[in-house]
Each structure stands twice: as structure tokens, then as C-alpha cells.
Amino acid sequence: MIPDILYHGTSERRVERFRKAGFVQPGSGRQVFLSDSESEAWKVAHRFSQGPEVLYIDAGRARRTGLTIHRVREGLYVARQIPVRHVLNMRRGFREQLSAGGLLVRRDQGEPQVALVSCMRRSRATWEIAKGKLEDSETPEQAAMRELQEEMGFTSSLHITHNLGAVRYGFRTPEGEPRLKTLHVFLIEADPIPEDFQPAADEGIQEVRWFPISQAQRMVTHTSLVPLMAQVRRLLEREFLDAVEAEQQ
């Protein structure tokens, strides 16, 4: 699966040339090399003598509009050219947004379960993980636990069991401004386990429901979160089997 965000290492001078041309293409007939690692893209950018730059390519949106991106090898991709409209940090009003969220886990019902929130998105409701922007001086861990309690509506004590890392994807604000979201995700447990939720309707949360992890993986369809949900399922199912084997010994 091609990540939603890819990176292109280049220079300030080339960026100005791309802007005038309306698309990213290093030279006539040459392909655009893209990395799934920002640090690797910066290494490439620093090979240029003047003004290294890294471009954030909204590969998910680009592919949905018909742009072809090929995987060359692990971590490396190519495209014939990238229209500037798909380069987040070449568009007016670009900003980065730090967010955090998590999956509330329960292990008292046999197969591990996670709680998801149902959110209204345009014309339909989707099942998602609870998440939101970091507040001033707040760590990702603090933000994730706060967002769970606020969006789901419960007051149990929380503790983080696993840090799942971060995912990145692009989106546009209601005003049409581009954003690069970095979302830190955690597995979180509650004591006591909440049964009744009071969803934050003013934030568009319609419902909170527990799902077996095998079902939850299918319910979360955001492209950036699909690999993460597969990771969560493998992790929780492995821990469940280990616990069963320990009880049998």
C-alpha cells in the first residue's frame, strides 16, 4: 500500500521552477523520486548546494484523482510528474497540525475489544478512533487520553499500554487551506471499564461502541489508519493467545 504522504528532496531554486511550471519534475523526461521517509528525503535535499527543501506530497489525494505512483523498492516510489496542487507545502495557507488519539481496549470479553466513535463526515457517518489537536504544552500522551474522555464521554482512570507511533496524512480545512496532520496513536485501558458513554455531539460524535478487534479492523476505513488497525489486531490477538497459553500451563 502506498502511504498517503510521500516526500521529495529538492532545493529552493527548483521549488521556484516547479511553482512556475505548475508541476514537480526534476528535468525533461526524468521521473520524480519519492520517499516514505522524511529523513531520507532531507538527506537527498542536502546534496544540493543551495537551500535544501523537502516537499510534502499528498499521495493519497493525488492517486484518487488519477495520478499514477509506482513503488520501485522498499521506501522508494516514482511518478512521471506531480501537479503542484498535490504538494501540500507549496499551497497557500499550508500548516502542520499535531494531533493525538487512541483506541480504548477491553480484555474481559474473550476476544479483545476496542471502542470506536461514529462521526458524521459530509453525507455519511464513519467509524473512527477518537482523536484531536494537541493543546498548548500538552504531550501526545496527555492529548490522547483527554480526547478519549471528551469525545466518548466517560470519566474512568486511563493508562497507556502501547505507543503505536504516528501516521501522517493531508487534508483541507473548511476554508480550503492545506494541512499536514501528524497523528500520534496509543492503545489505552480504563479502570473501571466504561459501559455507558455520553458522546460529544457538539463535536460530531454520534455514537460510541465496543467492537471485537477483528470487526473493528474492518470498520476503520481511513486509508492512513488501515495499516495501523492491522498492526493493532496482530498485537492484541498475539497478546490474547499468549495469555491463553499461560493459563493452560
pLDDT confidence of 190, banded at 50, 70, 90? very high
pLDDT digits (tens, 9 = 90+) for 74-95: 999 999 999 999 999 999 999 9
Q: Which three cell numbers stand for residue 16?
A: 521556484
CATH 3.90.79.10 for domain 95-248, yes or no, is: yes
Q: Compute CA distances 33 → 164, 171, 189, whole Å.
A: 28, 23, 42
Q: What is the DSSP letter of 191?
A: E
pLDDT digits (tens, 9 = 90+) for 11-33: 999 999 999 999 999 877 789 99
Q: What share of the chain is helix, strand, coil (3-state, %, to 5)?
A: 30, 40, 30
Location of each CATH 3.90.79.10 domain in the chain: 95-248
Strands (E), the chain: 5-11, 23-24, 32-35, 52-58, 70-73, 76-79, 82-83, 95-106, 113-121, 124-128, 130-133, 157-172, 178-191, 205-212
Quick check: 166 pLDDT over 80? yes
pLDDT digits (tens, 9 = 90+) for 99-131: 999 999 999 888 899 999 999 877 788 999 999
Quick check: 98 pLDDT over 90? yes
Location of each CATH 3.20.170.30 domain in the chain: 5-90
Quick check: 174 pLDDT over 80? yes
How confident is the model over 40-49, as a mean pLDDT? 92
Q: The pTM is what? A: 0.90
Long-range contacts of 83-86 (CB under 8 A, 24+ apart): 83/22, 83/23, 83/24, 84/18, 84/19, 84/22, 84/23, 84/24, 86/57, 86/58, 86/59, 86/61, 86/62
- Domain covering 5-90: architecture: Alpha-Beta Barrel (3.20)
